[in-house]
Homo-oligomer: A and B are copies of this chain.
Amino acid sequence: MSANVADKTPVFDASPNAGESLARRHPCASCSVRDLSFCHCLDTEELDELESIVTHLEVPARAPIIDESEPAEFLFNVTGGAIKLYKLLADGRRQITGFLFAGDFLGIAMKENYVYSAEAVNKATLCRFRRGDLENMVDNNAKLSKEMLSMASNELEMAQEQMLLLGRKTAKEKLCSFLMTLSKRAQRRGEASSPIFVPMSRADIGDYLGLTTETVSRTFTNLKRDGVIRLQEGSMIHLNDMEELDDFAEGN
């Protein structure tokens, strides 16, 4: 039950390569997702400190990353791929509470033990920190502490939006909201807003939206039939009319 990747030797670790190019010695400084990550607020010196406590990991699709109720030994920053966070009921019913992508932090609402589980959707890369190490750094760094509060605040806002979705939206509205959220996220990151990459399975989408796989599939079929979306190869989905989609998402 504790055979987590978190426990294993990292597949990829930058530290053995230290002492060569600046990029090698300071991978954080040249990190491609730093401006999306909590560490964007740190200066060179602070990055050095961060680097001294980080381990870089690469995990395959479906790899478990943390398990609810296990001691919260590690926190993570996602640098590539997608991660799903979820909670389970005793009989196996699952609620995915969020998806994390490059730049997202994993471990904000953490006590002594993890309060949810996390698993890689596809191949993913992560920065791993010992909780104590990172907490220490946050305690002694006002910028970092402010950044954490800001992240928690954003997460909370997203969670409230998701509660509205789960409690009050129809299947169609849920799915349209989901697509719009992915699209807007891509846009914020400077990617195209329309063919969007949707790496998660129908089952994952269902467990995120409070629906079954079958209902997700049927609703996708309806949206295709009505010309709202077009499925493309490689898990890409083309959104034909963003404004229409947004209206559907908001129940108009």
Contacts and interface: CB of A to CB of B under 8 A. Distances in A.
Given A161-B87, A164-B87, A168-B89, A153 B152 contact: yes
Interface in A77-112: 85, 87, 89-91, 93-95, 97, 108-111
Interface in A99-142: 108-111, 115-116, 139, 142
A156 B85 CA distance: 13
Number of identical protomers: 2
A167 B210 contact: yes
B251 A89 contact: yes
Contacts of A207: 167
A250 interface: yes
A167 B110 contact: no
A45 to B, nearest CB: 20
Contacts of A168: 89, 93-95, 210
Given A145-B146, A153-B108, A163 B160 contact: no
22 contacts: A85-B160, A87-B160, A87-B164, A89-B168, A89-B169, A90-B252, A95-B167, A95-B168, A97-B160, A97-B163, A97-B164, A108-B153, A109-B157, A115-B157, A142-B142, A145-B146, A145-B149, A149-B149, A152-B153, A156-B159, A163-B163, A167-B207
